[in-house]
Amino acid sequence: MRGTSSNPWKSVIDFIVEIIAEKTELDRMQIIESLEVPPDPNLGDLATTVSFQLAKIEKKNPALIANKIVEYLEQAAEKEGFIERIESKGPYINIFLNRGALAKFVISCVSELDTDYGKSDSYKGLRALLEYPAVNPSKPWHIGHTRNAVIGDTLGNILEHVGYDVIRLDYINDLGLQIAQITWKLMMDGEPENIEEKYDHFLGKIYVEVQEAFEKFESIEKEIREVSRKLEDLSSSESKHSLKMVTKCVKAQYQTAYRLGIYHDYQVWESAIAHSGLLEIAREKMMECENVVKLEEGEKAGCIVAKLDSIDDFKDMKDPNKVLFRSDGTRTYTGADIALQMWKFGIYPDPFFYQIFEKQPNGEEILRTALEGKKNGIGKVDLVFNVIGTAQAHPQKLVYSILDLLGYEEESQNSHHIAYEFVGLEETDFSGRKGTWIGYTCDEVLDKAKELAYEEVAKRNPDWGEEQNDQVAEQVAVGALRYFMLNASPDRKITFRWEDALDFNGDAAPYLQYSYARATRILEKIDAQENQEGNLSLLSAPQEFELVKAIAKLPEEILEVARGMRKNVWGTGFSSNRITSYSYNLATLFSRFYDSCPVLKAEPGLMAARLELVKSFRTTISNCLSLLGIPVIERM
């Protein structure tokens, strides 16, 4: 193998497949599928189970076949420097790579690509629109919302890494009943002069109070419903009050998002949807379909419904006529969701105007939909990913199926529900209404994590000042929380326990950050002039070799996650935990290397080679951390 590759492990695999293909009758796909990593590195670096497949064809003992093939393969492999040896063990054919040659190849790939190492252009030219976390603008983010936001943000990073152009969208429901409830309360009581709390926390608590009254007293419910109706009228005082309140709330919520390194490109506001004419345009489009009709009689007389009895998945519904627009003409959630999904794909002309909501700390402006402003829409997108809890699997499926029913087959296929299970407590779930989230907001969890991290940082770095302690503690806290959310497979419920979320040892973000800091420290201690050419073929210790192999696999690992995003009956799978476990494993291998292979005390030639390896590791783990949105810490 000559030169460098953006996917070194894949290059090694291709090389081996080529050799096997020359010596057997099997096609390349079969060979690729037969390749696996043996359970124990002592058995080899790669193995092939082609003997099982050949045994079926030739009707012979697989072990005998393996024995025979190995002889041929050894001859072929000898010509190139990449393979050390090939041996059979029973039916398995085990391949040992040349450690020095692989180290040389992998390290040159990483050093060439640097911060781009891990990226690929496999999906170049495709545009993906992601929606997350769409938290109601009436309360602070709790840890359930945090899971949504972190999954969405990380998914965006991964899609960007494999070549997608990614648009990050947030949805602001400023017309919901929850907003009416708070508006009612604030207009009655007047807004307090000095609110000491963060504004979203303040609203959240009011909301819990109002909700109680709302459920208890019919008269209050009636008043609030009236406020809700008035919110639809943009000239009403209720609407004007609510707009100020919601804007303030979203800005407060975004302070939390920014702490986590989460940014967006656009916001879609429900009030803009309601008054832009979007719903009317969408409704007309929908009614062009013969399966969307206005019912004349029966319980749903006057409603515009989608007839779903022809679709297998929905024929067991109580009534397969799904209401999209009520008899009074207003849209249902499903109706609005379909209209919005159509907008995302640009099925009809964009009716929105756009205004700057605010400038984010990353320097980028976030645009919100509005009724006046500039006409800079999102343009054509190929795929839409909605990050929504798994409880909404059925409604999401409805939206995509109806899209298909309307004739937008491709758009339906390209609609993805990224489903994740909820975060709960041992005894209860998080409920906005009951206020069970109090004490478990994202801000509180981050603050508590930071407090603990601060103690640790101060203990380890007695010479640091308060500012440096504080900064690192914040980075540790953010990393720990993001990792905690990503390391759980999205289809698994998270039971939130402080001792788990705040455990900074073992399988957690600080471990990764620490490995980076250690690598950085080694490199810092070397003066530039000592930078001599290292003989990379000296890197043959098992700890060095295992680290090299792990580094080599990053690009393929990211691609595997992207390829694994297939549609299922419940949504589209997204294995965020694969990236965390890859990164954890990489850091573990570095820790072992660190413990058993001294760098600065090694012989000059070996030292230079190990320095190169440390550099490669540092780049790779750094790229993993930025993919996961975990802050990189130089010293901790």
User: Residues 41-70 vs RNA: string with x where CB under 7 A?
Assistant: -xxx--x-x--x------------------
Q: What stretch of H or E contains 356?
A: strand 353-359
Q: Does 327 bind RNA (CB under 7 A)?
A: yes
Q: Interaction with RNA in 145-204: which residues (CB under 7 A)?
A: 176-178
Q: Does 35 bind RNA (CB under 7 A)?
A: no
Question: What residues pair up with 36 in beta bridges, in sequence order?
Answer: 47
Q: Which stretch binds RNA (CB under 7 A): 119-127, 372-380, 437-445, 589-597?
A: 589-597
Q: Write down the least CB distance from residue 454 to RNA, Å.
A: 9
Q: Does 476 bind RNA (CB under 7 A)?
A: yes
CB-wise, 130 or 472, nearer to RNA? 472
Q: Interaction with RNA in 352-391: which residues (CB under 7 A)?
A: 390-391
CB-wise, 375 or 566, nearer to RNA? 566
Q: For residue 139, which of 432, 338, 446, 456 has the smallest C-alpha distance?
A: 432
Q: Which stretch binds RNA (CB under 7 A): 114-122, 146-154, 203-211, 567-575?
A: 567-575
Helix, coil or strand: residue 599: coil
CB-wise, 152 or 510, nearer to RNA? 510
Helix, coil or strand: residue 353: strand
The tally of CA atoms less than 13 A away on the side-chain side of residue 434 is 5
- Distance (Å, rounded) from C-alpha 294 to C-alpha 303? 5
Contacts of 420 (CB under 8 A, 6+ apart): 147, 148, 151, 387, 389, 390, 490, 491
Q: Does 456 bind RNA (CB under 7 A)?
A: yes
Q: Interaction with RNA in 77-116: which residues (CB under 7 A)?
A: 89-90, 92, 94
Exactly one of 40, 189, 193, 466 binds RNA (CB under 7 A); which one?
Answer: 40
**Paired sense of beta strands 365-370 and 353-359, if any:** antiparallel
Report in angstroms the alpha-carbon separations of 313 from 14, 308, 405: 42, 9, 13
Q: Which stretch binds RNA (CB under 7 A): 183-191, 242-250, 283-291, 495-503?
A: 495-503
Q: Write down the least CB distance from residue 316 to RNA, Å.
A: 4
Q: Does 609 bind RNA (CB under 7 A)?
A: no
Q: Does 428 bind RNA (CB under 7 A)?
A: no
Q: Which stretch binds RNA (CB under 7 A): 282-290, 345-353, 435-443, 505-513?
A: 505-513
Q: Interaction with RNA in 125-144: which residues (CB under 7 A)?
A: none
> HEC states along 141-162?
CEHHHHHHHHHHHHHHHHHHHC
Q: What stretch of H or E contains 46?
A: strand 46-48
The footprint of RNA on this chain (CB under 7 A) covers a number of residues equal to 97
CB-wise, 360 or 526, nearer to RNA? 526
Residues constituting the chain:
636
Within 10 A of 461 (CB to CB), how many other CB atoms are there? 14
Q: Write down the least CB distance from residue 194 to RNA, Å.
A: 31
Rg (C-alpha) for the chain, rounded Å, is 29
CA dihedral sign of residues 221, 222, 225, 227: negative
DSSP 512-547: HHHHHHHHHHHHHTS-GGG-PPP-GGG--SHHHHHH
Q: Does 472 bind RNA (CB under 7 A)?
A: yes
Q: Does 562 bind RNA (CB under 7 A)?
A: no
Q: Write down the least CB distance from residue 598 to RNA, Å.
A: 4
CB-wise, 121 or 319, nearer to RNA? 319
Amino acid at 370: A
Q: Does 599 bind RNA (CB under 7 A)?
A: yes
Q: Interaction with RNA in 256-295: which residues (CB under 7 A)?
A: none
Q: Does 595 bind RNA (CB under 7 A)?
A: yes
Q: Write down the least CB distance from residue 324 to RNA, Å.
A: 9
Q: Does 514 bind RNA (CB under 7 A)?
A: yes
Q: Which stretch binds RNA (CB under 7 A): 236-244, 282-290, 310-318, 529-537?
A: 310-318
Contacts of 51 (CB under 8 A, 6+ apart): 62, 63, 65, 66, 69, 88, 91, 92, 93
Q: Write down the least CB distance from residue 518 to RNA, Å.
A: 5
Helix, coil or strand: residue 245: helix
Q: For residue 483, which of 505, 462, 466 has the smallest C-alpha distance?
A: 505
Report the first-to-last Cα separation within the chain, whole angstroms. Answer: 40
How would you classify residue 145: left for phi > 0, otherwise alpha for psi between -120 and 50, otherwise beta? alpha
Two tokens, residue 260? 């986590």
Exactly one of 412, 584, 619, 631 binds RNA (CB under 7 A); which one?
Answer: 584
CB-wise, 361 or 598, nearer to RNA? 598
CB-wise, 256 or 520, nearer to RNA? 520
Q: Interaction with RNA in 404-423: which residues (CB under 7 A)?
A: 421
